[in-house]
Every structure is written in structure tokens, then in C-alpha cells.
Amino acid sequence: MSEEVNKVATKAQEIPPFIVMDVLERAQKMQAKGEDIIHLEVGEPDFDTPEPIIEAAMRSMRGGDTHYTHSLGKIELREEIAGYYHRKYKVDVSPDRIVVTSGTSPAMLLAVSSLLNRDDEMILSDPHYACYPNFIRYVDGQPVFVKVSERDGFKYRLADMQNHLTPRTKAVLVNSPSNPTGNVFSAEELRQIAGLDQYIVSDEIYHGLVYEGKEHTILEFTDRAFVINGFSKLYAMTGWRLGYVIAPPEFVRPIQKLQQNLFICAGSFVQAAGIAALRECDDHVARMVKIYDERRRYLLSRLREMGLATEVEPTGAFYALANVKEYTGDSYTFAFEILDKAKVAVTPGIDFGKNCEGYLRISYANSLENIKEGLDRLQRFLQEAPKKGTN
């Protein structure tokens, strides 16, 4: 290893790439050369941020609201978040338990930083959101992976979780609706998980994006939980960087101190925009959800037609997994081959854990016209692609 490489911290050297970004960046280079690329890889709403949110931010900035806020976040926003959880889930959350952050990634980092000591373990499903293990390892914790199966909708079986518990297991991570699977945990499934002795970290960033049935917050079943949520997905506010963590009372002051040192506070006028989102944008959200569902239904019908559908179809978020195990055991190479030959960007399953090998994640956060064209191209590609074991 060269002397130059030795200057780089071990954690920075060893952290794996976020593969979907590798796909996106390759696709962007191809587009810059004039190639027509259909983007089905990125989990980002294609809608513009609703106008009431933009107007609220502009009023805030013009009114001089461009300074630091309280490190926990504006009390008005924390009260709105608490009110939202009461209206939607009938749970009482004190605003004093809410820490507003610059997106949900800082919220997750603050939560695991306050929770995990060196070598403490946190249970994750496999598949899982690609970045979860990296947050855990960054604070010297240990991710413990529990394989979940397609026939179960990629959701935990309680007995499998219990078999992975050790004296060092500090927490269990739940993501519902899920990235990458799009599946949603039932109330009974969450109740069983909440019955464990460990803390629960519940990533609820896709709440509101549910098309069949109803999502449930972990707070309906336990207070020994950290809820991670934000505004990026439901309100088409990815670039605004606004999230929050709802923490058990004894963790709020430690998280606040971490926030003060690492981030100070979330943006002041962005918090004003968040208040407007919660107060004024229900109709805008309903319109977006209706359109997402139209896209979901079309995508699932095409996946069934192509023989790629999973056994349990997704009912939340804006993702579906395509089972391509007949074609490949190397989803990374396969995804880039699809990009190069079919000009369609999709995410290889291996980005989400070893147990997601043989799948592709397809995002329907794009127009129906683009989804149709992308799937037509993918279908033509697969018609010419050899299946495993054939020449």
C-alpha cells in the first residue's frame, strides 16, 4: 500500500460505495454523450415540491429567518410533527422527544451514535437499505443480518430474529414500507417485533406511500423505539434535506449534544417549509400517491408478464424487485449490461445485501411514459439474453 493511501483513514478507505450512485453516474456520463437513458434506478420523486412549501420557505427567508435555530429544531415544527403522529396513528409524542435534522441520514447517524457502543450488535434484514450497515460500522457497532425470503414478502420471521439475538444485541432495525422491497409490515408483525427486549429503530421515511392496507408506526406498540422520518419522499423534498428522529426520553439530551457538535441545527427556513408541508399539503400528497399507484400497478403487471414478479407484490414506497435469477447470479454486472445495451438504468440487488443477489430494484418514481419505454427496452433485452445453463 502506498504512503499516499496510508494517509487516508481506515473507515474512509473501507466504506463500500453506494452502488445505485455508481449506476446513476455512469448513466449521466452516457447521457452527456447524447445517449437516451431511462432512469429506473433512483429512489427520488419526479414531482416538483408542492407550491405551498416553496412559498413558505420564501416568506421565511424574506422575513429574515436565516439564522440558527434551537438545536432540537423549531418548537413549531416539532409540535406539528407530534400532531401529525397523533392524527395519523393516535399516538401521543411529546415535542420534547423530537430532534429535527438535515435529512434522515443524519437522523440515523445520531440515533445509532447514541445507542451503540463498540461491538454492540444491531439486527438487520437481508435485503436491507444499502447504507444501514455502514452507519452501524461507522460507530463501531456490528450489523447482524437475518435472511428474509421472497415468499414472506422479505419480512422478518420472529423465530429467525430470536435465533440471532445475543447478549450484545442492542437493537433491531425495521424499515416499513421497505427499500428495496416495497413491502409493508402488518400491525401484528410490528407488535411481535416490539415485544423483543431490544430497542427498535424504525425507519418510517416511506410512510404515506402505501397503496393497499395501512402502515403502522412502531410507536403504536412500544416507546422503546427510535423513529426515523422526514419530508424527502412523501413531499418531494429530497433536496431540502429535512428529517427528524423521535427518541426515547433518556436519549434526547445525548442526541441533542451530538447534533450541537456535528450539525448545529437544521436549516431555519427549511424548517418553515416543513411546517407548511404538514399543514397545507394533504391534497398534493394524495395526488402524488394516486399517480404512484397507477405506475405501481402497471409495473407489476409488466413484471408478471415477463416472469419477473416476486411472490408477494409490493404495496408501499416506490420500488419493486424483479427476480432475474433465471438470467444471472451477478446482478452488478447484469445491471450495467442492461444500462450499456438497453439504455435502462436499474439497481443491482447486490447493493442491498447478499440475499438480494439475483434481483434488480426498479423504481417507479418516474413518469408512466418513461416506465413503459424502460420496460419495453428491458423486455427486448431479456428476449435476447441467454438464461443460466443455456448457450
pLDDT at 391: 47
DSSP state of 239: G
Round to whole Å and give the CA distance between 307 and 56. Answer: 47
pLDDT at 388: 74
Domain-by-domain residue ranges, the chain? 3-48+283-382, 51-281
For residue 199, pLDDT beyond 70:
yes
Q: Picking from 17-26, 57-66, 130-139, 270-279, which range would have the lowest pLDDT averaged per residue? A: 17-26
Enter the C-alpha cell of residue 151.
415468499
51-281 fold:
Aspartate Aminotransferase; domain 2 (3.40.640)
Backbone angles phi, psi at 76, to 5 degrees: -65, -40
3-48+283-382 fold:
Aspartate Aminotransferase, domain 1 (3.90.1150)
For residue 203, pLDDT beyond 60:
yes
> 157 burial class (0-12, 13-18, 19+ CB within 10 angstroms)?
middle
| pLDDT, tens digit, 9 for 90 and up, residues 324-345 | 999 999 999 999 999 999 999 9
Q: What percent of the chain has pLDDT over 70?
A: 98
| pLDDT, tens digit, 9 for 90 and up, residues 234-287 | 999 999 999 999 999 999 999 999 999 999 999 999 999 999 999 999 999 999
pLDDT at 390: 56
| pLDDT, tens digit, 9 for 90 and up, residues 150-180 | 999 999 999 999 999 999 999 999 999 999 9
Contact status, residue 299 vs residue 320, Cβ threshold 8 Å: yes
